[in-house]
Amino acid sequence: MTVTEESISKKMIKHLLGQDASNLLNSHRYESSLGFSSKPSHTITSYRIVIDACVMRNEIRRYISLEGRPTFIQEVNRSGVGQVHAPRWIETELEASTLPSLYKSERISPRILSRIAETLLEEITIPTGYDSPIDANLPENVDLKDEPYVRLANDIDALGILSWDKGFDKYFVQTFREDVIKQMQHLARLLNAAVQVRTAGEITTIVSANAIDELYQASVKAFKKLPKEAIIVGGLVGGAAALFYFTQTEHGRRNRHRYLELGKLGVGKAFTALISMQNELQLIEEEKAALIKCIEENL
C-alpha cells in the first residue's frame, strides 16, 4: 500500500469514527444477512444501564440544545451498545419535580417539556412492576425514592445506575457518571466503523466490473481519465455508495443478491483501496478491546 493510500485509509477511518453510530444495529444485521459476521470479534458488546430522573433532566436539556441530533445517551441506546432502562417510577418523579424545576430554570413551556420527556422515554425500556418504591428490607438511612431504580438494576443485572446521586451508595449498588456513557459512545463508533469497512470490503470482493458497469455506465469513460489519487478516493466513496445502495434503497435491497451473484465473476478494481484498510481494522479491534476493559474494570 502506498503512502497516499495509507493516508486516505486513515482519513476514512477518522471520518467514520466521527459519524453517529445510531444505525449500528441495522448495519450489523445487514452484515449478518450477507454471512460476513460469523467471527466472535464481530459481535456487538452490550451493557444494561439504568438511568434516574436527574440524568433525564440533563438529557432533556441536551435534546433541546442539539436540535434534532441524537444525544450521546440516545446514540448509545440506539446502537445497542447500551441498553437503557428506567423504572416507571421515573415518570412520577419527572412530573412531580424534574419538569417543574426545568420550567423554572429554562422558561420552556411545560407542554413542550412533557412532549420531549415522552419522546425520550419512548426510546428506553420501561418494564412493568416498578411503579413505586417498596418500603421493605431496606438498608438504614436510604432515600426511599431511589428504591425502584436499585431494584430494577439488580433484577436485570445491569452494569449499574447512571447517576451522580450519592444516595445510591447506601444501597451498595454500582453507579457511574456520564463519562462512562461517552466511552460507550466511542465504543459504538469503533464498532460502527469496523462493520462499515468490513461490509464495504466484502461487497468489494464480489461486486464485479459487470455489476459496476450496470450501475454506473455513464461514469466509466470519465473514471478512466482520473488521476490515481482520485481513483483511490473514488474507490472509497464508491464502496460507501455501494453499501448505502444495497442497505438503504428499495431498489438496492431488491436486487442486491443478483448483483452479488454477478460479482462472483471478478473484483471491481475501483474499490481495492477498501481492502487495504485491514490494518486499520486491526487497530480498531485493539482499541475496542482496551476500551471494553476500561469500561468494565474501572467501575
Distance (Å, rounded) from C-alpha 159 to C-alpha 180? 11
pLDDT of 230 above 60: no
Please report, for the chain, the start and end positions of each structural domain, with discontinuous segments joined by +: 3-43+192-297, 47-182
C-alpha to C-alpha distances, 84 to 67, 92, 94, 120, 181, nearest whole angstrom: 22, 18, 17, 11, 11
Better-scored residue on pLDDT, 256 or 55: 55
Alpha carbon 200 to its chain's center? 18
Alpha carbon 75 to its chain's center? 5
Q: Render pLDDT for 169-224 as a digit per residue (tens, 0 to 9).
A: 999 899 999 999 999 999 999 999 888 887 776 555 555 444 545 545 544 444 44
What pLDDT is stored for residue 32 in this prediction? Answer: 82
C-alpha to C-alpha distances, 190 to 242, 248, 291, nearest whole angstrom: 21, 21, 10
For 47-182, CATH gives 3.40.50.1010
What pLDDT is stored for residue 168 in this prediction? Answer: 93
pLDDT of 226 above 50: no
Q: Render pLDDT for 240-279 as a digit per residue (tens, 0 to 9).
A: 555 555 556 666 666 655 555 554 444 444 455 555 566 7
Exposure of 257 by Cβ count < 10 A (0-12 exposed, 13-18 middle, 19+ buried)? exposed
Better-scored residue on pLDDT, 211 or 147: 147
Q: Render pLDDT for 56-109 as a digit per residue (tens, 0 to 9).
A: 999 999 999 998 899 999 999 999 999 999 999 999 999 999 999 999 888 888
3-state secondary structure of 21: coil
